[in-house]
Amino acid sequence: MSFSSLSQLECPRCYARYDAQVLQGVCPTDGSPLLARYDLESVALQPEEISRRAPDLWRYHELLPVSAAEHVVTLGEGMTPLLSTPRLAAELGLRRLLIKDDGLLPTGSFKARGAAVGVSRARELGVTRLAMPTNGNAGAAWSTYAARAGLRATIAMPVDAPRITRAEIVVTGGDLRLVDGLISDAGRLIGAAVAASSAGWFDVSTLKEPYRIEGKKTMGFEIAEQLGWRMPDVIVYPTGGGVGLIGIHKALLEARRLGWVEGTLPRLVAVQSTGCAPIVEAFEAGVRESRPWPDSATIAFGINVPKALGDFLVLNALAETGGTAIAVDDADLLGDLHVTARLEGIFLCPEGAATVAAARALAASGWIAPDDEVVLLNTGAGVIYPDTVRVDVPTLARDDVLDL
């Protein structure tokens, strides 16, 4: 059995096909992201065999783009817990609420999935230096995995991005450049630098290479496997660039084609901030592409993406699954960050907390029914966002008496 069944790359806009054995960026015809396609007819893998493999995302290697085990760059990523949260469920008026906690991945966020697969494939195809803009977590992950692979990485990041992700990039040897602006400004700088660079450089910006999404899609495989190879009713996902939501949709379609799961796909929910909600605006307008969001700002830095390259893929996934898009206020997500930690002992990142606020609103409106099985994605560890929680605690003198 081959390690990977990757067959080609395909443009989801014009359906042109490209050689997957050649380093590719976006579609040269229309600038669309390219999607990896697999020879699913050749995949004989069944859930029973998957269960006997190591508990990491490479257990699904036939549906990942790396051609052989020796090319895999890994830090043990994958198979994060799917946690039942009964007290939080009761708080929201639900009965079956689960949190997929990707804050437990090696670099503290779900970005480790895309970096593991993307870096592995880039090295396999001869890349020696990676370059990307980031809001924080992706840069930290790609710098870390680049170090693991023996590659160099240049990362451009808004100056206001979380300081811990800066430290992750610097300590792993990444070439960090801070930009006085947004991720879109960082992206323009990276694009110009790569265009002027010598051979061996590769722009790994969100969806400007085909393989980050393949790592992210393993969230979908894991959710199905952890539920006994079935699908929940609703999956709620914090959406900036939207790669994870696109990936989950892609994974579940592939799993259904292979007979691993059956039935209707979960309704997918894209959660954004009221301070940056281009996908929500497009969804509500019934259009298939978003407009750039002016003056975007939110404490959930990972979803502060004014215009996503793959917005049309996100909107297609919502339409095809009967899903929706919703924006939440920073005050509400911060409130639900505290509620979740107090009720369940789970310290969510701001983006993860946004999914709780969204589920609360959707349950209140009736869009989510009380008996629906709902999975929320926590995309990072709360501890890597120390500035989101204010700690005002009095200091006791040595001879004070503790009043309980």
- Report pLDDT digits (tens) over 187-240: 999 988 888 887 778 999 999 999 999 999 999 999 999 999 999 999 999 999
- Report pLDDT digits (tens) over 55-84: 999 999 999 999 999 999 999 999 999 999
Percent of the chain topping pLDDT 90? 88
User: What does the pLDDT read at residue 79?
Assistant: 97
DSSP notation for 363-388: HHHTSS-TT-EEEEEE-BBGGG-GGG
- Report pLDDT digits (tens) over 113-133: 999 999 999 999 999 999 999
Q: d(Cα 324, Cα 322) in Å, to the nearest integer? A: 7
User: What does the pLDDT read at residue 198?
Assistant: 73
Q: d(Cα 250, Cα 210) in Å, to the nearest integer? A: 13
**pTM to 2 decimals?**
0.95
Query: Does residue 182 or residue 107 have the better pLDDT?
Result: 107
- Indicate the pLDDT class of residue 399, thresholds 50, 70 and 90: confident
Q: Is 179 exposed, middle or buried (0-12, 13-18, 19+ CB in 10 A)?
A: buried
38 DSSP 8-state letter: E
For 137-154, what is the mean pLDDT? 96
Q: d(Cα 381, Cα 110) in Å, to the nearest integer? A: 9
User: What does the pLDDT read at residue 144?
Assistant: 98
* 173 dihedral zone (left: phi>0; alpha: psi -120 to 50; beta): left
- Report pLDDT digits (tens) over 132-144: 999 889 999 999 9
Residue 1 has pLDDT above 70, yes or no: no
Residue 152 has pLDDT above 70, yes or no: yes
- Report pLDDT digits (tens) over 263-285: 999 999 999 999 999 999 999 99
User: What does the pLDDT read at residue 182?
Assistant: 85
Domains and CATH numbers, the chain: 82-109+212-385 (3.40.50.1100)
The length of the chain, given as a count of residues: 404
User: What does the pLDDT read at residue 393?
Assistant: 86
- Report pLDDT digits (tens) over 347-391: 999 999 999 999 999 999 999 999 999 999 999 999 999 888 888
- Report pLDDT digits (tens) over 247-260: 999 999 999 999 99
Task: Decide: 36 and 7 in contact? Cβ < 8 Å.
Answer: no
